[in-house]
Amino acid sequence: MQSYENLKNLIDGAADDVAKCAGGNKAAGTRVRKSMQDIKNAAQDVRKEVLTMREGD
């Protein structure tokens, strides 16, 4: 499932900025918020793909 792989990559890519944000880096916090929005949208894509697979059965 390509959409799931995309979701995993987005989560892995956000890890460094999450750590920086926890350390007090405000710019990293902005990047984390943007990454979380992208992750939310990617998760929705996974949900749609799973629903499509389920309906095809």
- Per-residue pLDDT tens for 1-56? 899 999 999 999 999 999 999 999 999 999 999 999 999 999 999 999 999 998 87
User: What residue type is 41 in one-letter code?
Assistant: N
Instruction: Check whether 57 has a pLDDT greater than 80.
Output: no
Cα of first residue to Cα of last residue in the chain, in angstroms, is: 16
Both structure tokens of 4: 């799931």
* 19-to-13, 25, 27, 36, 43 alpha-carbon distances in Å: 11, 9, 12, 14, 22
Angle (deg, nearest 10), helices 2-22 and 26-56? 160
